[in-house]
């Protein structure tokens, strides 16, 4: 499984990650599923996602990383996702490092090219039987050189099961809509009134999204009203 890992020995990497966790070093980012570590040596760079915490939280995070590993096995070969080297010691997810800037900080030089490529990427994921579901999150979309999208973080992605699986099919279809709605939201920066005719087919808000939007709007209205009273 780890044969191809930039010539880095599996045991060497395992020692490195255990040491990094213990000494709290080499942390690249602290995320929801755990910490993300950056391995750098002689120009070789890898990302390692490691679960943190004990008890129920730890169990859930480990399960999410195992799930993410299963997702990566389904989508290997899709352009725009990091290469996955495997699940080291059954718990550390080893990924190709993408030298990019998170979308919320990046300057996109050619929006048309970028969002066309992102739409293709989303469709390619769906063709492989994977719906991401979390594309609206500001740090799950990376931008390479201002114009090329990369999608990461498949911790809550839905995998389409084969055969008779009505619950999975329902969730999967919902997740497909989430992905396209996220694409619209990102492309139009939330200005839904600007959606072009040719993109309308991708915008199909689900009940869940409508309710969460309603809660958010109500909350903002209350906040505004309270501010006015002060």
Ligand X SMILES: Nc1ncnc2c1ncn2[C@@H]1O[C@H](COP(=O)(O)OP(=O)(O)O)[C@@H](O)[C@H]1O
Q: Which residues bind ligand X (CB under 6 A)?
A: 28-29, 31-33, 36, 47, 82, 95-98, 102, 139-140, 152-153, 155
- Pull the structure tokens for residue 228: 């006015």
102 interacts with, out of ligand X, Mg ion, none, CB within 5 to 8 A per kind: ligand X
Which of ligand X, Mg ion, none does 29 bind, CB closer than 5 to 8 A by kind? ligand X
CB of 224 to ligand X, least distance (A): 31
Q: What is the DSSP letter of 98?
A: P
Residue 153 engages Mg ion in binding (rule: CB under 5 A): yes
Minimum CB separation of residue 42 from ligand X in Å reads: 18
**Minimum distance, C-beta of residue 140 to ligand X, in the bound complex (Å):** 5
- Tokens for 151, please give them: 């999608």
Task: Report the 10 Å Cβ neighbour count for 147.
Answer: 15
Residues in the chain: 230
Q: Which residue is nearest to Mg ion (CB)?
A: 153
Q: Which residues contact 6 (CB under 8 A, 6 or more apart)?
A: 44, 46
Pick between residue 31 and residue 129 the one whose CB is nearest to ligand X. 31
Nearer to ligand X, 51 or 177 (CB): 51
∠ CA 40-42-47, nearest 5°, is 25
Which stretch in 84-92, 140-148, 162-170, 208-216 sits in contact with Mg ion by CB under 5 A?
A: 140-148
Closest-CA residue to 44 (of 87, 5, 85): 5
Q: Which of 108, 111, 109, 100 shows the shortest CA–CA distance to 28?
A: 100
**Residue 29 bridge partners (DSSP):** 36
Q: Does 68 bind Mg ion (CB under 5 A)?
A: no
Closer by beta carbon to ligand X, 35 or else 227: 35
Residue 80's binding partner, choosing from ligand X, Mg ion, none, with beta-carbon cut-off 5 to 8 A by kind?
none
Nearest-approach distance from CB 8 to ligand X, in angstroms: 15
Instruction: Give dist(CA 121, CA 80) in Å, integer.
Output: 6
Summarize as ranges the residues that interact with Mg ion (CB under 5 A). 140, 153
């Amino acid at each position: 499984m780890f044969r191809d890992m930039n010539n880095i020995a599996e045991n060497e990497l395992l020692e490195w990650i255990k040491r990094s966790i213990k000494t709290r070093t080499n942390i690249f980012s602290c995320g929801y599923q755990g910490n993300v570590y950056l391995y750098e040596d002689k120009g070789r760079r890898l990302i390692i996602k490691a679960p943190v915490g004990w008890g129920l939280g730890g169990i859930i995070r480990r399960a999410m990383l195992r799930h993410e590993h299963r997702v990566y096995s389904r989508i290997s070969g899709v352009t725009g996702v990091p290469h996955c080297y495997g699940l080291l010691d059954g718990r550390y997810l080893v990924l190709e490092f993408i030298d990019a800037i998170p979308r919320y900080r990046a300057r996109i030089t050619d929006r048309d090219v970028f969002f066309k490529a992102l739409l293709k990427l989303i469709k390619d994921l769906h063709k492989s039987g994977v719906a991401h579901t979390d594309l609206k999150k500001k740090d799950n979309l990376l931008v390479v050189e201002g114009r090329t999208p990369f999608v990461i973080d498949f911790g809550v992605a839905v995998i389409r099961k084969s055969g008779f699986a009505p619950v999975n099919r329902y969730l999967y279809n919902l997740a497909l809509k989430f992905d396209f709605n996220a694409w619209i939201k990102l492309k139009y920066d939330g200005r839904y009134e600007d959606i072009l005719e040719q993109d309308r087919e991708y915008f199909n808000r689900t009940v869940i999204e409508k309710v969460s939007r309603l809660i958010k709007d109500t909350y903002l209205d209350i906040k505004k009203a309270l501010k006015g009273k002060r």
